[in-house]
Amino acid sequence: MSTAIKKSDFIQSLEKGLKVIAVFDRDHPELTLTQVAKAVDLTRANARRILLTLEYLGYVSCADGKLFKLTPKVLCLGYSYLSSLSFQELAQPYMEDLADIVNESCSMSVLEGKDIVYVARVQTKRIMTIALGIGTRLPVHATSMGRVLIAGMAPGEMERYIEELDFEAFTPYTLVDKLKFTERVHLVKARSWALSDQELEIGIRSIAHALRDKNGKILAAINISGHASRVSKEEMIERFLPALKETVSKIENALHQL
């Protein structure tokens, strides 16, 4: 929708009401009528009507008759927006923060057939020969995110799925033994994270963690990937994994509040 609007369509009282809500912040959690009027450039009479209306609707409280403050109901306005987002859109800013912390690329994928499909990505460095972006498909067995996603399956379903996989060896390090691969996935299931060391492409290491909904079901996998010349396996586990876990926890908390 265009940001231009006809004067006859513009509701000034709504604009003023939203400005009054926005004037409360960390530094000004409580304000008098006079302070609100001054901050929003309203007459005391206008500010009073707006505050009383917001109080009636439950967005503002005034216990002592002098100091107004927002109520938790205001959060509903933000949650309405958040609930309209897909989980990958909601996760994007958290992934951007993670990429800044570790200075490596961060991605999110879901399972589709025998592939993982990228649904979100924050790239800091080009480390693979192929270009990775939204919609990129990679073989599930050779990726850390793939193992995390398989680990979310029910036991019988998981074994049947693994049995039907094509275990192509992309590098000398690709795990192609079905029995060993199944054992590895069971380990991933127990700890919710997986490490892939140059199994898809020489020089590329990644560590991934499960992202779960409020019922514990795996929605997606999130990983950090880096070049082996910069990042050792030990650093992946000791430095990157805690940051990855913290990011996943933040995303899950945000999702669970919707």
The structure tokens listed for 115 are 């592939």
Structure letter (DSSP) for residue 53: H
Domains of the chain with bracketed CATH? 7-76 (1.10.10.10), 85-256 (3.30.450.40)
Kindly report, residue by residue over 10-46, the tens digit of the pLDDT.
888 899 999 999 999 878 899 999 999 999 999 999 9
Kindly report, residue by residue over 43-94, the tens digit of the pLDDT.
999 999 999 999 999 999 998 888 999 998 887 776 665 555 578 888 999 9
Pairwise CA distance, residues 26 & 9, whole Å? 33
Pairwise CA distance, residues 165 & 197, whole Å? 20
Kindly report, residue by residue over 197-227, the tens digit of the pLDDT.
999 999 999 999 999 988 899 999 999 999 9
- Highest mean pLDDT out of 76-80, 186-190, 252-256: 186-190
163: pLDDT strictly greater than 70: yes
Pairwise CA distance, residues 169 & 244, whole Å? 28
Residue 8 pLDDT grade (very low, low, confident, very high; cuts 50, 70, 90): confident
Provide CB contacts within 8 A for 163, sequence distance 6+.
178
Q: How many CB atoms lie within 10 A of CB 146?
A: 28
| Residue 2 buriedness (CB in 10 A; 0-12 / 13-18 / 19+) | exposed
2: pLDDT strictly greater than 50: no
Kindly report, residue by residue over 94-113, the tens digit of the pLDDT.
999 999 999 999 999 999 88
What phi and psi values does residue 248 have, to the nearest 5 degrees? -60, -40
Summarize the confidence of residues 252-256 as an average pLDDT.
88
- What pLDDT sits at residue 1? 36
- What pLDDT sits at residue 155? 83
What phi and psi values does residue 176 have, to the nearest 5 degrees? -115, -5
